Amino acid sequence: MFESLQHLINGFGIATTIHNLLYCLIGAIVGTLIGVLPGIGPIAGIALLIPATFGLNPTSAIIMLAGIYYGAMYGGSTTSILLNVPGETASVITCIDGYQMAQKGRAGPALAICAIGSFIAGTIGIFGLVFLAPPLAEAALAFGPPEYFSLMVFGFIVLSNVTGTSLTKSLMMAVIGLIIGTIGLDPVTGDARFTFGSISLLGGIEFVAVAIGLFGIGEVLVNVDQPSEMLEQHVFVPRLRELYPTLQDLKKSIGPILRGTGIGFGVGLVPGPAPVIATYASYMTERRISKHPEEFGKGAIEGVAGPESANNAACQSAFIPLFVLGIPFAPPTAILLGALLIHGVSPGPMLIGQHPELFWGVIASMYIGNFILLILNLPFVPLFANILRIPKKILLPLVILFCITGMYTVNNSIFDIWMMLLFGGLGFLMRKWAYEGAPLLLALVLGPKLEVAFRQSLMISHGDFGVFVNRPISMVFLLATAIFLVIPLIRMVLKKQRKEVS
Amino acid sequence: MALSSLLLLQLFFKRRQTIVKKGTVVEPSGSTKQLIFFFGTMVLVTLFFNRLGFPLSSFLLMLTLLRILGVKRWTFNLPLSFMTAIVCYFLFVQWLKIPLPKGWVGL
Amino acid sequence: MLKRIFSILFVLSLIVVMPIYAAEFPTKEVQIIIPWAPGGATDLIFRALAATTGKYLGKAVVVVNKPGGAGAVGYTETAQAKPDGYTLVSAITPLTILPHQVTTAFTYKSFDPVINVVKDPGMFLVRSDAPWKSLKEFLDYAKKNPDMITVGNSGAGGGVHLIALAFEKTAGVKFNHIPFSGGGPSVTALLGGHINAVSVSPPEGIEHVKAGKLKIIALFAEKRFELFPDVPIVKEQGVDFVMGQWRGLAASKGTPPDVIKKLHDTFKQGMDDPVFIKNAKDMVVNLSYLGPEDLGKLMAADHEFYGKLVKEIKK
């Protein structure tokens, strides 16, 4: 362990050279810009800038590209809060309470808490990465298809009522999400499902299109539906003092931030779009633990602090499988893998041993990057908050422009834009009739994976359902799910008994 | 496929218990016309996005949407849309080098 | 007044657009469409190639990802693009597989081949602590226990899956194929011991072989790897089977032959560029140049081959 510390110090030495600091800064700035623009997320950003790194040495290249990755995470929350448009997929949950806070004139504190929470999460996360990387990676390997299935069942059941509004409505939304998730090629047999002969549907419906459509475009349409006088107004803009979080805000947020970090770090180790799931899990936890859950959905700062920290922590832990096993679990890390390969560095068990300066240099620069982003973002909070001063009738067209452009940049596909508009319309209707979008998105993300894991498990076990309970980890999750479902029932029964007695 | 439909059926049964609560009915008002035009513009621009190319599409989009929402002064509307289109072009196409449709203007 | 200015601007922009008579190809940048998401092996190889070819071509070569439909979206778009040489597509083995599995608007015949860049053999990996020390032991076990050995692949109906199926036929055994969403997850599952073996193509899994965690139990190449000279190819062990994946470039059908020649020559220069050679070596891919006619023949042969194979499976 002390060897690790020694390496880390070396790493700091490397990361703080003028060159690398500069690359880190560039990466962070570009990443933030990319994150702010809806649609284009770290994936595209990193991929597009790989050619720009050709002339650099591997360490500097990865420092810059990693900077883009979490810069994008930071930037994504900005548009979520200000415009209810998720800057990138993991920022969806932030829209829920963050936007409400902005509507109440508390955009400043929301943005600031995001930055602060992300920073704290990032810092703790990095230490986790440094000291726990190898054992965590081994643990991650122990997850095979049956374990994933059970984990996802657990996640799905627990998280589908994430916002706490009507359970039945949430379930309905979740079911719709599941159905949408089946569109495209069956991952196991290769058959086309629900594609109606359309080539564009073969790949399924792009998650980003649904997310931006439901939340961003939906929100814009709701606004447009209001009479013209309302559009002249702008959102209530606070005085300078109100632009930063109060002491009370900070006190309230510390718990969520720490919990979010823990949750995010753990979830980030699981393959798939971990940051998204981490945010859902954190939000759910905070809501359950909170002494005043009614505030959630109306601008509770815990609902922003927790998920954002989880988000950032999940990004950190996503690096573990990449560096230790050489296997990327989330799409952005896949691109980073590619970048590493192009630079002649092959990630895998040998990476840390063969290229210690790369590994530790990148880790150190991650810390510095977090720090830079904090410094970059905090002063900009008033600037960003002032964006809300722009009268809605000018702001709304701009938002649409950015949504359409951003959407296109994901897959260079006009079809995606159509999908986005379609879901925009749907999102509008959903708002009118008080349905929540979050469960739909969760189902869209988890559903396909759940199905694949289920079928893979059965294929491996030749149809034996026992495979789910014979393996300890899988069993644990299934039990947890069962307990979770049963507890409310027990409570109800106990309440009835008590009533009868008294 | 069978397995997936099984899973779906399972959840469908839960759905049976739902009572669809229809909230406020949308009353046609001036703002609904606005809504329809707004949405219609988005659809139209998307239809021609590839052919018109990014700079032109963004210009037209901004122009039309601003007008629909009530910005009547052309002295304000035109330059704003123009500037937005130019800034976005430089930001995305030139600086970030993101591939965006070229259209016949050839940009 | 403003309307006047506006219309003048409008007319001016029209004039600017007047067709620039193509003096010589290329007058603007060339696009390579990659029908998969960024970050995959194909994506990386062609991004590297695009970077070096640009300077020989005189104009930039830009990579555009158009994922979807297991490649269908990108291929369809290129097949329908104007055959003027400005739109190319990364033609890889799945191009000859896909049309047999789903109804597509294209086949390899919708394209004019330009050049082939790499060719990598397929291989099976197992964990170093697996009970089978050699291919013979592996196949013997498989013969005695049909459908028991689980072999992962990067996707149902994908390149390595079909390689595994073809190998099955040739070796006379039956495996239990487990699909995953990509090479990464399939190798992970092997590392975790959830499956017995995995069917991959470099650079997937190479790192773990280098680290000693996994070993190559079957190599479907013409000759041994330079990097692992002790690993025998299956041919040497009595199974006459060679199969791999190729990756090249193609343009839409009807592109003028002189444009194709120009493209071919410049991409060849890009391939011979020392920077690209180094990149390829680092990625452990096997450069294998083929000219347009040879690539065309390869595509035709594979199309036939996979047609038959897919029919066998569907039975």
Q: Indicate the helix (H) or strand (E) that contains A122.
A: helix A107-141
pLDDT at C58: 79
pLDDT value at residue B15: 44
- In a 3-state reduction of DSSP, which class is residue C55? helix
Summarised one tens digit per residue, pLDDT across range B4-52 is 455 555 554 444 433 333 333 444 455 677 788 888 888 888 888 877 7
Q: How many inter-chain contacts (A to B, CB under 8 Å) are there?
A: 135
pLDDT, residue A197, reads: 66
Mean pLDDT of A228-251: 63
Which residues of chain B have a CB within 8 Å of the CB of A227?
A: 29-31
On average, the pLDDT of chain B sits at 68
- C280 φ, ψ to 5°? -65, -40
Q: B23 and chain A: CB distance < 8 Å anywhere?
A: yes
Which residues of A fall within a CB distance of 8 Å from B42? Answer: 217, 400, 404, 421, 424
Query: Do A394 and B14 lie within an 8 Å CB cutoff?
Result: no
Give yes or no for a contact between C114 and C264, defined as CB atoms under 8 angstroms apart: yes
| Residue in C159, C148, C225 with CA at minimum distance from that of residue C186 | C159
pLDDT the model gives residue A225: 77
Tell me which residue has tokens 């916002």: A163
Question: Scanning every residue of chain A, which has its alpha carbon at the shortest distance from the alpha carbon of B61?
Answer: A401
If we measure between CA atoms, which residue out of A87, A53, A58, A80 comes closest to residue A410?
A87
B-chain CB neighbours of A224 within 8 Å are: 31, 34-35, 38, 69
Residues 6+ apart with CB under 8 A from A63: A15, A20, A23, A24, A27, A361, A362, A365, A369
Q: How confident is the model at residue B99, as a pLDDT?
A: 66
Per-residue pLDDT, A405? 80
Residue type, C52: T
Name the pLDDT band for B68 (thresholds 50, 70, 90): confident
pLDDT at residue B20, as a whole number: 36
User: CB C62 to CB B99 under 8 A?
Assistant: yes
Percent of chain C with pLDDT over 90: 3
Q: What is the pLDDT of residue B17?
A: 37
ipTM over 0.85: no
- C-chain CB neighbours of B78 within 8 Å are 2, 6
Helix axes A2-15, A356-387, angle to 10 degrees: 60
Q: Do B61 and A404 touch (CB under 8 A)?
A: yes
Nearest Cα of chain C lies from the Cα of A466 at a distance, in angstroms, of: 15
Whether the Cβ atoms of residue A41 and residue A34 lie closer than 8 Å to each other: yes
- Looking at the partner chain, which of A409, A418, A421 has a beta carbon nearest the beta carbon of B98? A409
**Are C2 and B74 within 8 A, CB to CB?**
yes
| A178, B8 Cβ separation under 8 angstroms | yes
Alpha carbon of A436 to those of A218, A299, A358: distances in Å? 12, 16, 44
The residue in chain B having the minimum alpha-carbon distance to the alpha carbon of residue C13 is B105
Where do the domains of chain A lie?
Answer: 2-142+211-409
Predicted confidence at residue B14, as pLDDT, reads: 47
Per-residue pLDDT at B1: 41
- Residue A393's alpha-carbon distances to A229, A400, B33, B43, C302, in angstroms, are 10, 11, 15, 19, 58
pLDDT at A13 (0 to 100): 74
**Which one is predicted more confidently, C203 or A164?**
C203
- Mean pLDDT throughout B55-77? 79
Question: Does the pLDDT value for residue A188 go beyond 70?
Answer: no
Find residues 32-91 of chain B whose CB sits inside 8 Å of chain C. 74-75, 78
Q: How far, in Å, CA of C315 to CA of C313, rounded?
A: 5
A142, closest residue in chain C (CA to CA):
C192
CB–CB of B106 and C17 under 8 A?
yes
The reply to whether residue A186 touches residue B1, judged by beta carbons under 8 angstroms, is yes
Q: What is the DSSP string of C153-199?
A: ESSTTSHHHHHHHHHHHHHT---EEEE-SSHHHHHHHHHTTSSSEEE
Q: What is the secondary structure of A69-96 as a DSSP string? A: HHHHHHHHHHHHHHHS--SSGGGHHHHH
Half-sphere CA count of B41, side-chain side, radius 13 A: 23
Size of interface A-C (CB pairs under 8 A): 155
Model confidence at A180, pLDDT cuts 50, 70, 90, reads confident
Contact criterion met (CB below 8 Å) for B84 and B102: no
Asked if C142 and C175 touch (Cβ cutoff 8 Å), the reply is yes
Compare CB distances from C6 to B78, B104, B106 and report the shortest one's residue. Answer: B78
CB contact under 8 A, B105 and C62: no
Which 8-state DSSP code applies to residue C116? E
Residue from A111, A121, A30 nearest A380 by CA: A111
- Chain C residue numbers with beta carbons less than 8 Å from the beta carbon of B104 are 17
* Topology adopted by domain C26-119+244-314: D-Maltodextrin-Binding Protein; domain 2 (3.40.190)
Q: Which residues pair with C252 in a beta bridge?
A: C111
Is C121-237 in the same CATH topology as C26-119+244-314? yes
Residues facing C250 on adjacent strands:
C89, C113
- In percent, the amount of chain A with pLDDT more than 90 equals 0
pLDDT at B24 (0 to 100): 38
pLDDT band at A191 (very low <50, low <70, confident <90, very high): low
DSSP state of C36: S
Test the C interface: residue of A185, A415, A450 with most C CBs within 10 Å: A185
pLDDT recorded at residue B27: 43
Q: How high is the pLDDT of residue A343?
A: 67
Measured between beta carbons, which residues in chain A are less than 8 angstroms from residue C284? 346
Q: Which position has the higher pLDDT, A103 or A44?
A: A103
HEC-encoded secondary structure of A299-328: CCCHHHHHHHHHHHHHHHHHHHHHHHHCCC
Lowest mean pLDDT among A213-217, A334-338, C87-91: A334-338
Contacts of A418 in chain B (CB under 8 A): 46
Distance from CA of C17 to the nearest CA of B (A): 6
pLDDT over 70 for what percent of chain C?
88
Average pLDDT, chain A: 76
Residues of chain A neighbouring C210 (CB-CB closer than 8 A): 346, 348, 350
Q: Does domain C121-237 have CATH number 3.40.190.10?
A: yes
Distance CA A53, CA B107 (A): 26
**Ranges under pLDDT 50 in chain C:** 7-8, 11-22
Model confidence over A397-420: pLDDT tens digits?
888 888 888 778 777 778 888 888
Closest in A338, A344, A412 to C64, CB measured = A412
Q: Where are the domains of chain C?
A: 26-119+244-314, 121-237
Please tell me the predicted confidence (pLDDT) of residue B30.
Answer: 58
Query: pTM, whole model, 2 decimals?
Result: 0.73
Identify residues of C whose CB sits under 8 angstroms from chain B CBs. 2-3, 6, 13, 16-17, 62, 64
> How near does any CA of chain B get to the CA of C27, in Å?
12
Low-confidence winner among A228-232, A358-362, C222-226 (lowest mean pLDDT): A228-232
Q: What is the pLDDT of residues A269-308, one digit of tens each?
A: 776 667 778 888 888 888 777 777 777 777 777 788 888 8
* B100 touching C (Cβ < 8 Å): no
Q: What gap in Å lies between CA A210 and CA A173, rounded to an integer?
A: 13
pLDDT of residue A209: 82
Lowest mean pLDDT among A180-194, A299-313, A335-349, C241-255: A335-349
Q: Which two tokens stand for residue C33?
A: 């469409």
Judge: A412–B39 Cβ closer than 8 Å, yes or no: no
Sign of the dihedral through C-alpha C154, C156, C158, C161: positive
How many angstroms away from the CA of B15 is the closest CA of chain A? 6
Q: CA-to-CA distance for A316 and A126, rounded, in angstroms?
A: 7
Under 8 Å between Cβ of A215 and A427: yes
How many Å separate Cα C66 from the centre of its chain? 15
Query: Which burial class, exposed, middle or buried, applies to A471 when counting CB atoms under 10 A from its CB (0-12, 13-18, 19+)?
Result: middle
For C68, left (φ over 0), alpha (ψ -120 to 50), or beta?
A: left
Chains adjacent to A (≥3 CB pairs closer than 8 angstroms): B, C
Neighbouring chains to C with at least 3 Cβ pairs closer than 8 Å: A, B
Average pLDDT over residues A41-63: 71
CA distance A321 to A141: 9
Q: Which chains, if any, share at least 3 CB pairs under 8 A with chain B?
A: A, C
CB pairs under 8 A between B and C: 13
Angle at the Cα of A233 (from A232 to A237), degrees rounded to 5?
150
